[in-house]
Amino acid sequence: MMKLVRKKIIFTLTFVLFVFATISIFSASAALADEALEKRVKTLEKHQGELYKSLKEKKSPGHMQRIADNISLGGLVEVEAFHESANDTTSGIVAATVEIAIDAEINENVNTHILLLWEESGAIDMDEATIEITTPYGMVATLGKLYVPFGVFNSHFISDPMTLELGETNESALLLSYEKDIFSGSIAIFNGGIDDTNDDVIDDYVLSVTATPRKDLTVGASLISDIAEGDLGLTGASTIDKVAGIGFSATFEIDRFTIEGEYIGALEDFNVADLDVDGDGNGDRPSAFNLEVAYAVNDRLSVAGKYEANNDMFDFPESQIGAVASYELYDHTAVAIELLHGEFAMANLDDRDVLTAQIAVEF
């Protein structure tokens, strides 16, 4: 019965989204084109102004340079040195991340975005490839390979927060976004890789809403139909039941301080046959939260501390504290040093201390 209701919901969402997408494509009238273009420019300026607010979760280089009338190119290179003490001691120097982004303004209402990503542990990946259509009515339709809007994952640290590890989801999707006054919202639908039926159809969705009730406060909430769709790979490709996930976030700024908190978690236990990592005979219910306090010492130097923890994410420390300092050495060049101490829930894993230094350059 529940699967039938969910299929009806998915069908309705799919129909509504494609109707709006069709309207988006054919209703971009020239009379309001200037207004749409101005909004697009403001969006790009806002994105480019967020250099290193989050060293890892920002998925596109902020420093984009025009190489033609309508094409911009940008890149990011991150090199890291680390020393980890746990069951065994390891250290190394790695080219952690290389990104190349290409943006094209096709006309006043249509833009394309391509992001190539290489990380030390893998091959070159087409991380993002999207077409974005802006309508005169404030709605933006984005189609292609993208990060669906489940979670925010703001962080001042080099290492990804556990919330990102659990919730980040990259899919080929249709995303509709709308912003009005202090509110913004989005809906995405996609055909995920995890199925609880034999049907290979569009049966997953994400809903998100963000509000800025005050200039110094931003809050958000998001819902995903199946948290197993995340890039962490919680389960196998086939599950007995889908388990929805929910996320809450808040950012508060006061003077030179920034306080950020986020929670990501499953809404119920997984079926024991789908996820029972510790083998206790009960289905796991993974969740994580991250709390950070940052202080901008001056325009170039900032420091931050964090506390994060999780439940039923046994490959990660059950709780972790950390400190980081980052410095803008030159324009578009930043260095950072980070220290983390984590304690694991599994008895066979020792406490972990990780020291990481990073230099990141955008071009």
Q: What is the pLDDT of residues 242-260, one digit of tens each?
A: 999 999 999 999 999 999 9
Residues 6 or more apart whose Cβ sits within 8 Å of residue 5: none
The answer to whether the beta carbons of residues 64 and 74 sit under 8 Å apart is yes
Of all residues in the chain, the percent with pLDDT exceeding 90 is 67
How far out from the chain centre does Cα 61 lie?
14
* Structure confidence at residue 2 (pLDDT): 44
For the cut 80, the answer to whether the pLDDT of residue 212 exceeds it is yes
Number of domains in the chain: 1
- Where residue 87 falls among pLDDT bands split at 50, 70, 90? confident
The C-alpha atoms of residue 47 and residue 166 are separated, in whole angstroms, by 24
DSSP 326-344: EEEEETTEEEEEEEEEEE-
Q: Which tens digits make up the pLDDT trace of 136-161?
A: 888 999 999 999 999 999 999 999 99
Q: Which helix (H) or strand (E) holds 141?
A: strand 139-147
Residue 75, domain CATH? 2.40.160.10
Residues 6 or more apart whose Cβ sits within 8 Å of residue 142: 130, 131, 132, 133, 174, 175, 176, 177
Residues 6 or more apart whose Cβ sits within 8 Å of residue 299: 328
Lowest mean pLDDT of 14-28, 51-65, 302-316, name the range. Answer: 14-28
How far out from the chain centre does Cα 110 lie?
23
Nearest CA to 120 among 100, 89, 98, 99? 98
For the cut 60, the answer to whether the pLDDT of residue 230 exceeds it is yes
For the cut 80, the answer to whether the pLDDT of residue 291 exceeds it is yes
* Structure confidence at residue 138 (pLDDT): 84
Task: Please state the rounded mean pLDDT for residues 193-213.
Answer: 88
Q: Which helix (H) or strand (E) holds 142?
A: strand 139-147
Q: Which tens digits make up the pLDDT trace of 352-361?
A: 999 999 999 9
The C-alpha atoms of residue 228 and residue 245 are separated, in whole angstroms, by 9
- Where residue 66 falls among pLDDT bands split at 50, 70, 90? confident
**Could you say which DSSP state residue 195 is in?**
B
Nearest CA to 147 among 122, 164, 134? 164
What phi-psi label fits residue 272: left (phi over 0), alpha (psi between -120 and 50 degrees) or beta?
alpha
Print the domain residue range for 114.
2-362
For the cut 50, the answer to whether the pLDDT of residue 29 exceeds it is no
